Amino acid sequence: MSGMGVTTSLFSAFPQDDAKATAGFAKQYGITFPIALDEKEKGYPASNAYGLTNVPTIFLIDGDGTVSISSMGFVKNDLEQIAVQLAERRKIAPAALFRANESVPANRPG
């Protein structure tokens, strides 16, 4: 949401893993944003509600509701651009998402 100089960013995740695996992942990586399970046994309700065909699918949504980045699968450049845009919104330096000595592919299909 944007207005009077205020920008709000909301994150949520819809993992297709079971509850135990999802909780372990969230704990390991310190994830504090909302996570809704998108379980196969329940017919992937979140993916179906949003028309997602691949995971991960990541959206960066501007304060006015405009989707500024839509990324399907793992796309390193998209993640880096999201980090830059979020840092710009907070007027801080972008955080490095990957270590210099880390071998990270440019993309990986979801």
pLDDT digits (tens, 9 = 90+) for 33-90: 778 788 888 899 888 988 888 888 888 888 888 888 888 888 999 989 989 998 998 8
> Do residues 95 and 88 lie in contact, with contact meaning Cβ atoms separated by under 8 Å?
no
Contacts of 103 (CB under 8 A, 6+ apart): none
What's the CA gap between 75 and 72, in Å, rounded? 7
Whole-prediction pTM: 0.69
Task: Name the phi and psi angles at 55, rounded to 5.
Answer: -125, 145
